[in-house]
Amino acid sequence: MSTTMNQLSYGGLVMTMNNPQIRRIVQDLRSAYVPTKAYRKLEQNFQMLLDQRRADLAEGITSSVRGIVLIGQSGSGKSTAIRELVKQNRALIASNPEEEVCEFIGLQVPSPATMKFVGAATLNALGYPYSGSQSGPVVWDMVKRQLELRRTLFLHLDEAQDLARYQTDKERQAVVNTLKFLMENSQWPVGLVLTGMPDLKNIVNQDAQLARRLYPIEIDRLHDLRHAKSVVDLVKGYTRRAGIAISDELKSESFARRLMHAADYEFGLLAELTVQSITEAITSAGITVALQIKHFAEVFHARSAAIDGLNPFIAEDFTRIRARDVLGGVSV
């Protein structure tokens, strides 16, 4: 739910956060995290795996381990959930790649996602720069050795659906075999945390043994009826955290449905839109402002350049709008 913008241009205004109080509020909002049902399941499974591995290490036991697969659409909040998981467990698990011991290593699957390139990217994430010409199996032997030397307990691969994109059945099976071997390594097994789009299911389900070793978690899309009240409560919670008022127009479930549609029914995008709209409000009018629907409309326009008729916070028939389209679009 974070944004990297320090200077924004909404509604023709250039807004800077030179005011220390406003800057602190915005930074606090960007760092806030709202736990979801999927996140709580992720945290529970991760803690179970960590506790089991810690107990095995204490007893000198080496056994195969399990992992987690977290699936959701773009904007659902997968990457943010993993960052929050690592943050909340930083007292229990070493996660600084610059330290000698790094128990949690994360990287984004590179493109092209051949096993050799993924192995080289993993070595780089482990602080072992690699640019050689060895074959994929040799590279992964090096990866396994480095994982043991760094005492790595978990390897996180983001955008893991790309591991099987544009690959033959034989190549996909090689991917699956490599993933399994990391968890079954008799010398130093490593728990996998795979995050990706729904296509990632195809990799996991290609091999029953791999599927059995991964706890599956899927981030559900928002529903305009089931989640309307929760969305209103979320926006209220953010305004309370920012210390600003909220207009009555944002307390209705009809507004919540507009916000969900603007976020394409993905929780991560919805939270990001809310934080950016509060940022727009306080940087343009100060902390005495009341958050209004116009602030959401201005943020949506800045993100998409959509005209008013294609802005879900302005258009009457907003459900026809394709919210992810730049410059606006309507469904036919």
Q: What would the pLDDT profile of 33-88 be if each residue is shown by its tens digit?
A: 999 999 999 999 999 999 999 999 999 988 889 999 999 999 999 999 999 999 99
pLDDT in tens, 106-161: 999 988 788 888 999 999 999 888 877 888 889 999 999 999 999 999 999 999 99
Vertex 274: Cα angle to 296 and 222 (nearest 5): 105
Write down the pLDDT at residue 122: 94
**Residue 92: inside a domain, yes or no?**
yes
What span, in angstroms and rounded, lies between the C-alpha atoms of 60 and 72? 37
Helix (H) or strand (E) holding 44: helix 37-58
* 103 shares its domain with 234: no
pLDDT in tens, 297-306: 999 999 999 9
* 8 Å CB contact between 244 and 291: yes
**Residue 277: inside a domain, yes or no?**
yes
Q: Is the pLDDT of residue 14 over 50?
A: no
Q: Is 172 helix (H, G, I), strand (E, B) or coil?
A: helix
Write down the pLDDT at residue 17: 55
Residue 171: CB atoms within 10 A of its CB come to 14
Q: Is the pLDDT of residue 13 over 50?
A: no
Point out the domain boundary residue: 200, 218, 236.
218
Write down the pLDDT at residue 41: 98
Question: How many domains in the chain?
Answer: 2
Domain with 289 in it: 7-34+222-320
pLDDT in tens, 193-232: 999 999 999 899 989 999 999 999 999 999 999 999 999 9
* 249 shares its domain with 276: yes
Point out the domain boundary residue: 218, 253, 277.
218
Average pLDDT, the chain: 90
